[in-house]
Amino acid sequence: MVFRLPVVELTDEAGRVDEQDIENHPDLRDPDWQRHAVKEAWVDYRRDRRRAKLGKRLAITAVVAVVLAGAGVAFYYWGKTHAETAADATSGGGTSTTTAPSVIPEFARVDLSHPFDKTPAQNWREGIEGVTFPAAVKVGGFSEKQVATALDQVKQAIVLTSLDADVLQGHRPDKFLALLAPDIRDQVRTDADRYLTYLTIDPPLLPVPARMSGAVTMTPRGQQELVLHVDYVTAYAFDPGSRTITSPGDMEPFIRVQADFVAERGEKYLYLEDRGGYNSNIACEASKRNLIAPSFTEPDFAGPSQAQEPGQYDPTKPLPTEGNCR
């Protein structure tokens, strides 16, 4: 990869060219820009490493060279993103009114107070409010009241699966199991980490609610059963601490869940028939233990470079079949 520094003319107030070295320009000496230049260099370094599969043998001197060579380019992008961030700040904060991207950008400034900005979750609602439920009406052999009860149970199941701290960080499935029929609890308990979202305890989450997007649909199966299909995505924001991150994707796993719950007339419990899903922007080593961790915990990960599929972030799209973890 070849970088060319742009030609920069430094002029005094009278418009005459100043012969001072470019490195003495006050903008280039700005510590915020210097930190950004390093992050920009790491973006190029990580992209090249993934695509070319160079592995760990790439010398750190290559990173330094990219920092120096890409200084002019990084300076331009720093100014551009700095202006964008300032514009966002003047809009009043909170959920953005701008159109969210369909995928996570490979590089973007991250505001830890609004970590989902510039991601597909930018305009999603917080927590269970992001999941759409149908109206409770008579369906098949189920009365309106019975449908309302089943929908409430499914809502509790989603909260316990993807939002409850005892499950996410305590890894305790008991409250979720209590919603299920007694004859399937032992089976689900055995594979609880397949049915529930277990996050790593360290690093911690940022003190912001998770964002969700998805829907629940219901279909009668005969007169005695009601199938409630859930399909939703949850985005979590982890605290990077002092680690260098170059994109929201480094710190924000997106977890898509598909499941079929079945309510039976006269029964007060749910049956869980099927569950599938797709995890994006995760640490692969943690996933082998069925734990969700942000990708920044594995900085040397050099998995295959693949295009981001819409189904990773959009529950109305088909579920992806391939991931970066092998």
> Which of the four pLDDT bands, split at 50, 70 and 90, describes residue 324?
low
Please give the pLDDT value at position 19: 46
Please give the pLDDT value at position 111: 94
The pLDDT mean for the chain works out to: 78
SS (H, E, C) the chain: CCCCCCCCCCECCCCCECCCCHHHCCCCCCHHHHHHHHHHHHHHHHHHHHHHCCHHHCCHHHHHHHHHHCHHHHHHHHHHHHHHHHHHHHCCCCCCCCCCCCCCCCCCCCCCCCCCCCCCCCCCEEHHHHEECCCCCCECCECHHHHHHHHHHHHHHHHHHHCCHHHHCCCCCHHHHCCECHHHHHHHHHCHHHHCCCECCCCCECCCCCEEEEEEEEEEECCCEEEEEEEEEEECCECCCCCCCCCHHHCCCEEEEEEEEEEECCCCCEEEEEEEEEEECECHHHHCCCCECEHHHCCCCCCCCCCCCHHHCCCCCCCCCCCCCC
Burial class (CB in 10 A: 0-12, 13-18, 19+), 65: middle
Please give the pLDDT value at position 194: 87
Picking from 66-70, 155-159, 277-281, 320-324, which range would have the lowest pLDDT averaged per residue?
A: 66-70
Question: For 3-50, how does the pLDDT look when each residue is reduced to its tens digit (9 = 90+)?
Answer: 333 434 444 444 554 544 545 555 555 555 454 454 454 444 444 444
Picking from 56-65, 194-203, 243-252, 272-281, which range would have the lowest pLDDT averaged per residue?
A: 56-65
**What's the CA gap between 260 and 272, in Å, rounded?**
6
User: What percentage of the chain carries pLDDT values higher than 70?
Assistant: 67
User: What percentage of the chain carries pLDDT values higher than 90?
Assistant: 61
Query: For the domain 125-312, what is the CATH code?
Result: 3.10.450
> Which of the four pLDDT bands, split at 50, 70 and 90, describes residue 56?
very low
> Which of the four pLDDT bands, split at 50, 70 and 90, describes residue 80?
very low
Domain ranges of the chain: 22-90, 125-312
Please give the pLDDT value at position 294: 96
> Which of the four pLDDT bands, split at 50, 70 and 90, describes residue 322?
confident
pTM: predicted TM-score of the whole model, two decimal places: 0.72
Please give the pLDDT value at position 274: 84
Please give the pLDDT value at position 325: 76
Q: Quick one: which of 59, 263, 238, 246 has its CA closest to 157?
A: 263
**267 compared with 10, residue with greater pLDDT:** 267
**322 compared with 45, residue with greater pLDDT:** 322
Question: For 183-206, how does the pLDDT look when each residue is reduced to its tens digit (9 = 90+)?
Answer: 999 999 999 988 999 999 999 999
**pLDDT beyond 90 at 121:** yes
State mean pLDDT over 45-73.
39
Please give the pLDDT value at position 38: 45
**pLDDT beyond 80 at 84:** no
